[in-house]
Amino acid sequence: MPVTVGFLVNPIAGMGGSVGLKGTDGRLYTEAIRRGATPVAPSRALRFLKHLCQVGFNHSLLAAGGVMGCKYLKQIPSLRYECLGYPLESRKETSSADTKTVVKMMLGRGVDLLAFVGGDGTARDVAEVLDCEVPVLGIPSGVKMYSGIFAASPEAAAELVTMFCEGNAVLDYADVADIDESSLQVGELKVRKFFRAITVRADGLSVQSKDFGASGSSEEKYALAEYFIEEYLRDNILYLLGPGSTIKAVTDVLGLPKTILGVDALFNGSIIAKDLGHREILNLLNSFVQAKIVVTIIGGQGYLFGRGNQQFTPEVIRRIGKDNIHVLATKTKLRGLKYLLVDTGDPVLDAELSGYIHVITGYREETMMRIVPASNPALLTR
Model confidence at 30, pLDDT cuts 50, 70, 90, reads low
Q: What local confidence, expressed as pLDDT, does residue 27 receive?
A: 55
Q: What are phi and psi of 219, to 5 degrees?
A: -60, -40
Exposure of 205 by Cβ count < 10 A (0-12 exposed, 13-18 middle, 19+ buried)? buried
Query: What does pTM read for this prediction?
Result: 0.91
pLDDT in tens, 182-234: 555 555 667 788 999 999 999 999 988 766 556 788 999 999 999 999 999 99
Q: What is the mean pLDDT of residues 288-316?
A: 93
Question: How close are the terminal C-alpha atoms of the chain, in Å?
Answer: 30
Averaged pLDDT of the chain: 90
In the chain, where the domains are located: 4-209, 213-380
Q: In what order do the strands lie in the sheet with 81-83?
A: 81-83, 60-63, 4-9, 113-118, 136-140, 191-201, 170-179
Q: CB under 8 Å to 208, separation ≥6 — which residues?
A: 148, 174, 300, 301
Q: What is the mean pLDDT of residues 86-96?
A: 89
Q: What percent of the chain has pLDDT over 90?
A: 77
Architecture of the domain delimited by 4-209: 3-Layer(aba) Sandwich (3.40)
Whether the CB-CB separation of 374 and 380 falls below 8 Å is answered with yes
